[in-house]
Structure 1
Amino acid sequence: MDEKQVERILQNPKFQEMVIKKRNLSWTLTAIMLVVYVGFMLVVGYNKEFLMTSFSGGVTTWGIPLGLGIIVLSFVLCGVYSFIANRTLDRLNQEAMKEVEQITQGKGSH
Structure 2
Amino acid sequence: MNDSIYKRIDQNPRFKDLVAKRERFAWTLSFLMLGLYVAFILLIAFEPQVLGARISDGSPVTWGIPIGVGLILSAFVLTGIYVRRANGEFDEMNKLILKEAQQ
TM-score (norm 2): 0.88
Distance in 2 (CA, whole Å) between partners of 1:66 and 1:73 is 10
Q: Which residue of 1 aligns with 2:56?
A: 56
Distance in 2 (CA, whole Å) between partners of 1:83 and 1:55 is 35
State the superposition RMSD in angstroms: 1.4
Q: Which residue of 2 aligns with 1:100?
A: 101
1:24 to partner: Cα distance = 1.0
Query: Which one is further off, 23-32 or 4-13?
Result: 4-13
Identity over aligned residues, as a percent? 40
Distance in 1 (CA, whole Å) between partners of 2:31 and 2:61 is 29
| Runs (5+) with no aligned partner, structure 1 | 103-110
Q: Which residue of 2 aligns with 1:66?
A: 67
Please tell me the residue identity of whatever aligns with 1:43.
L
- How do residues 1-110 of structure 1 correspond to structure 2 at under 5 angstroms? 1-2=2-3, 6-57=6-57, 58-102=59-103
1:33-84 Cα shifts (integer Å, max 9, x gaps): 0000110011011111111001133111111001000111011001100111
1:5 to partner: Cα distance = 5.5
| Runs (5+) with no aligned partner, structure 2 | none
Distance in 1 (CA, whole Å) between partners of 2:36 and 2:30 is 10
Distance in 2 (CA, whole Å) between partners of 1:45 and 1:23 is 32
Distance in 2 (CA, whole Å) between partners of 1:55 and 1:75 is 24
1:17 to partner: Cα distance = 1.3
Aligned positions, number: 101
SS in 2 for 1:18: helix
Distance in 1 (CA, whole Å) between partners of 2:33 and 2:82 is 12
Runs of 4+ in 1 over 6 A off after TM superposition: none
Please tell me the residue identity of whatever aligns with 2:101.
V
Task: Check whether the contact 2:12–2:97 (CA below 8 A) recurs between aligned residues.
Answer: yes
